[in-house]
Amino acid sequence: MASSLTKGATAQGTPAGGKTFFGHPRGLATLFMIEMWERFSFYGMRALLVVYLISGGPDAKVGGQGGGLGMTEGNAVAIYSVYLAMVYLLAMPGGWFGDRVWGPRKTVVIASGIVMAGHLALSVPGQATFFAGLGLVALGSGLIKANISTMVGQLYDGPQDPRRDGGFTIFYIGINLGAFAAPLVIGTVGQSYNWHLGFALAALGMALGLAQFLIGTRHLNAESSVVPTPLAAEERRGWLRKAMIWLIVAAVFYTGVVLSGSWTLNWVLIPITILGLIIPTGVLIRIKRDRELSAVEQTKVSGYIWFFVAAAVFWMIYDQGGSTMSAFADSKTADTIFGLHFPSSWFQSVNPLMIMALAPVFAWLWLWLARRDREPNTTLKFAMALVLVGASFFVFVVPMGMAQDGTKVSPLWLVSIYMIQTMGELCLSPVGLSVTTKMAPAKYASQMMGVWFLAVTAGDCVTGLLSIAGVDLSGVGVIALEAALAALAGFAVFMYRKKVVALMADVR
């Protein structure tokens, strides 16, 4: 999964004295728990999303639970992709609200309430409430993403605090514990009993996280309540005017579309996917063309664009684990193994389980290779990630071919695919976070972390546009083509590694 972990937050000192949390400030327990519950709600809902959208439709599992929205798989994949793109796109304004308007602590409280309201809306049957809920969850998750990590950084005495990396590692465990448990609980209830009860459980999880956060805020650094660079009164009025103008324009436009009788869901999906490609491109061009940057910083931005594009290709394929692969798991994969019957949403627990199992192994491996001066540099790790995610889809071609005659394939096929993708993620995601902080121009130190998340947005928007255009992403030929694209991208990064390394200047 794309991590919400960042290490670029400015530390403001450690709260004094008292009990610790595994040797770390008590505030880490508060942040660990709210992140765990937020991820529980997020990944629980995500595990249900595609199977709920196709339930009752032509691509649903024969004999499966009805009561969903009855969409085709193509429409479901498009909605899922746009939803994920919005979550990561909104991480940038989420950080802006924390820096300029509410401060990190207040932003997280408000965002948690928005997420909870979104899940409650999803728990009410009806297409209108469903899309309203989906929008609220995306908005709240985006607001939380940057600010929660900022508060983790504020618990420590600066970047050189020896506990800092360990604190972020513990925090990362919270992310994956929530993501692992969610499909097993929410997925089982939603898919086996009642969809909307599952969504309600996601709301309950967020409510528990918010409650313990409010109780434990006394353990957080006081700086988490401070607005670092508050908007001046004139700036605030300016932003409000702009927001109102765009809101009125959108309202008038969409009212006209509805009244003309030409309304379809694509009137929302297509603009969002196009914006999801234009905004990352525009942000990178704006940073690259900033004349205040030094020559070295300009060079580093050029090098970073390579990593950004590579990451977008990676996430384009990887995030189909919750859409294309989720639909395949529901309708074409056996739901029994060793005599145990389980809902298809359980497959969404494989990735976080693999991360918790393999992350320590990869961390040890990089250190072991580094001691022998043989650790792959960032460029090679990105190339490895692309080849691995491409290999996972080459493997996916096999069970897809086997299932074409109606055969239910073994669950172990999907487990192996998720395992290969997780290995690729561990080569790219933490490395990408690190290289982003290292290559960011001083002027854009905070914004560049948001740029990293925009790579996820770009990748998911490509998937969304393909689905909207009618491309069958569940077709064997398309899956093989995506696999080849990732492998070729990895090969290109490898072939041009010396050029990219040169652009990175002193970063390795």
Other Cβ atoms less than 10 A from the Cβ of 218: the count is 11
Q: Is 231 left (phi over 0), alpha (psi -120 to 50) or beta?
A: beta
CB 247 within 8 A of CB 401: no
CB 140 within 8 A of CB 114: yes
Other Cβ atoms less than 10 A from the Cβ of 151: the count is 28
Other Cβ atoms less than 10 A from the Cβ of 433: the count is 22
DSSP character string of 73-115 = HHHHHHHHHHHHHHHHHTHHHHHHHHHHTS-HHHHHHHHHHHH
Distance CA 480, CA 390 (A): 9
User: pLDDT value at position 165?
Assistant: 66
- Using alpha carbons, list the distances in angstroms from residue 432 to 271, 312, 450: 28, 11, 12
User: pLDDT value at position 507?
Assistant: 67
Distance CA 368, CA 396 (A): 32
User: pLDDT value at position 124?
Assistant: 94
Q: Is 21 left (phi over 0), alpha (psi -120 to 50) or beta?
A: beta
In sequence order, the 6+-apart residues with CB closer than 8 A to the CB of 277 are 458, 461, 462, 465
Distance CA 470, CA 204 (A): 37
CATH class of 20-230+264-503: mainly alpha
DSSP character string of 213-268 = HHHHGGGS-GGGGS-SSPPPHHHHHHHHHHHHHHHHHHHHHHHHHHHTT---THHH
Distance CA 273, CA 507 (A): 33
Digit-coded pLDDT (tens) for 188-220? 999 999 999 999 999 999 999 999 999 999 999
Look at residues 133, 167, 161, 135 and name the one whose alpha carbon lies nearest to residue 148. 167
User: pLDDT value at position 125?
Assistant: 92
CB burial of 237-251 (b: ≥16 within 10 Å; e: otherwise) equals eeeeeeeeeeeeeee
The residues facing 20 across adjacent strands are 25
Residues of the chain with pLDDT under 70: 1-18, 158-160, 165, 445-446, 507-508
Tracing tokens 């308007």 back to the chain, one arrives at: 101
Digit-coded pLDDT (tens) for 140-159? 998 998 788 888 888 887 66
What is the pTM assigned to this prediction?
0.90
Look at residues 42, 48, 51, 52 and name the one whose alpha carbon lies nearest to residue 126. 52
Look at residues 417, 397, 398 and name the one whose alpha carbon lies nearest to residue 478. 397
User: pLDDT value at position 109?
Assistant: 95
Alpha-carbon dihedral 466, 467, 473, 478, rounded to 10 degrees? -20
Amino acid sitting at position 155: L
Digit-coded pLDDT (tens) for 340-393? 889 999 999 999 999 999 988 988 888 898 888 888 888 999 999 999 999 999
Q: Where are the domains of the chain?
A: 20-230+264-503
CB 419 within 8 A of CB 350: yes
